[in-house]
């Protein structure tokens, strides 16, 4: 799916996740790609009869209303769409004793593989959320002889998963220990630390289906020693695609590791977003007539057909964002949604107020 489809689906998922039923009266129906829609319609007609036995009059009425809404929609469609269908219906009123039964009908951008009928206090959106997950993620490790931090680069977000400490003492020897004995103690503790870090990485990454590679950073020669120790299982060692010199073993260290590994993960969303925002600001600084930002100037650029790439912050007003998207489609412009999870994304939002454009030609 493209960026626009992904963001539209994510917005609907977030809306559905926020809904709560006072009782088990929110209905989820999922029809997989290629499944007979008439068979589902018959099943739901039968469920209406079962719902008639619900003791609570209000809950019974809301469930039956929701099922009837879904059945009507299925009869209108007559056949299952190419990628399947997800339908959600139920009373979403926040006020006790009032009814606001609504329906959401979603034709997913990827084939739906799950068949489901569920009546619960929440809508079931996990199969849809799986569709918008980044297809590949990268494991991260920043390590020195005292500390280690393990993380994950998932799309544009760096997630910290685990922090570990070695217990290796500093350079000052305790109690007049000989240099050789002190060295043996610290080396033993370091090797044990490397072993524990390797075991932790195995627990986290070994069965991770979306793992595309592992990035490792740290001071010379610690990160090399860690890899040479041989504790890291072969499957994970073969996935190490980048080893970088970094001086921090904390959240900032993971950020530096990702930045220094850009060439190794060119297609990763985090990097693609960073590059487009950097390009926007570079154009704005060197040739400001070829960039525009702010609602008024961007709207004028779209009106004149001058927009090559439209950049919209995820925190920008949704209705205005949809209107801008619609207009740029008509002039064959490229749309990029900018997250606020990165430094660059935050900078873009703060300076542009949420919307900017790289132009094909000057508008003034």
Query: What's the CA gap between 101 and 99, in Å, rounded?
Result: 6
Residue 292: give the domain boundaries: 270-359
Domain shared by 249 and 288, yes or no: no
Q: How confident is the model at residue 163, as a pLDDT?
A: 97
> Is 253 a member of any domain?
yes
Q: How confident is the model at residue 218, as a pLDDT?
A: 96
Q: How confident is the model at residue 180, as a pLDDT?
A: 81
Domain shared by 154 and 254, yes or no: yes
Domain shared by 27 and 62, yes or no: yes
Q: How confident is the model at residue 104, as a pLDDT?
A: 97
Domain shared by 117 and 165, yes or no: no
Domain shared by 279 and 167, yes or no: no
- pLDDT, tens digit (0-9, with 9 covering 90-100), for 62-103: 999 999 999 999 999 989 999 999 999 999 998 877 889 999
Phi and psi, residue 12, nearest 5°:
-65, -40
Q: How confident is the model at residue 335, as a pLDDT?
A: 87
Domain shared by 89 and 171, yes or no: no
Is residue 214 within 8 Å of 138, Cβ to Cβ?
yes
Domain shared by 74 and 147, yes or no: no
- Number of domains, the chain: 3
Question: Residues near 104 by Cβ (< 8 Å), separated by ≥ 6?
Answer: 12, 15, 16, 87, 88, 89
3-state percent breakdown (helix, strand, coil) of the chain, nearest 5: 45, 25, 35
Q: Identify the segments of the chain with pLDDT beneath 70.
A: 1, 170-177, 267
- pLDDT, tens digit (0-9, with 9 covering 90-100), for 95-134: 877 889 999 999 998 899 889 999 999 999 999 988 887 7
Q: How confident is the model at residue 260, as a pLDDT?
A: 94
The stretches of 121-229 forming alpha helices (DSSP H) are 126-132, 179-205, 222-228
Domain shared by 120 and 61, yes or no: yes
């Amino acid at each position: 799916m493209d960026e626009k489809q992904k963001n539209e689906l994510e917005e609907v998922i977030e809306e559905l996740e926020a809904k709560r039923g006072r009782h088990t009266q929110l209905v989820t129906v999922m029809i997989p790609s290629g499944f007979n829609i008439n068979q589902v319609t018959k099943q739901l007609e039968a469920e209406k009869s079962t719902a008639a036995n619900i003791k609570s009059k209000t809950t019974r009425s809301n469930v039956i209303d929701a099922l009837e809404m879904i059945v009507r929609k299925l009869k209108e469609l007559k056949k299952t769409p190419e990628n399947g269908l997800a339908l959600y219906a139920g009373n979403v009123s926040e006020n006790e004793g009032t009814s606001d039964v609504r329906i959401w009908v979603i034709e997913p951008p990827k084939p739906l593989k799950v068949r489901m009928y569920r009546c619960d206090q929440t809508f079931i959106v996990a199969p849809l959320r799986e569709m918008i997950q980044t297809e590949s993620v990268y494991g991260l490790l920043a390590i020195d002889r005292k500390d280690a931090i393990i993380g994950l680069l998932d799309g544009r977000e760096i997630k910290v998963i685990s922090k570990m400490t070695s217990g290796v003492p500093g350079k000052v020897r305790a109690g007049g220990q000989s240099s050789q004995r002190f060295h043996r103690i610290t080396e033993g503790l370091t090797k044990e630390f490397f072993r524990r870090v390797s075991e932790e990485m195995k627990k986290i990454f070994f069965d991770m289906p979306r793992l595309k590679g592992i990035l490792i950073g740290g001071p010379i020669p610690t990160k090399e020693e860690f890899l040479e120790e041989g504790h890291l299982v072969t499957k994970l060692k073969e996935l190490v695609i980048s080893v970088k010199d970094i001086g921090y073993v904390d959240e900032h260290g993971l950020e530096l590791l990702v930045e220094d590994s850009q060439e190794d993960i060119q297609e990763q969303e985090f990097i693609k977003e960073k590059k487009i925002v950097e390009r926007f600001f570079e154009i704005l600084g060197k040739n400001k007539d070829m960039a525009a930002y702010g609602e008024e100037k961007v709207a004028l650029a779209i009106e004149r057909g001058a927009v090559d790439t439209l950049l919209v912050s995820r925190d920008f007003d949704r209705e205005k964002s949809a209107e801008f998207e619609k207009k740029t489609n008509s002039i064959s412009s490229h749309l990029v949604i900018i997250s606020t999870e990165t430094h660059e994304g935050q900078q873009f939002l703060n300076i542009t107020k949420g919307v900017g454009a790289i132009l094909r030609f000057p508008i003034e």
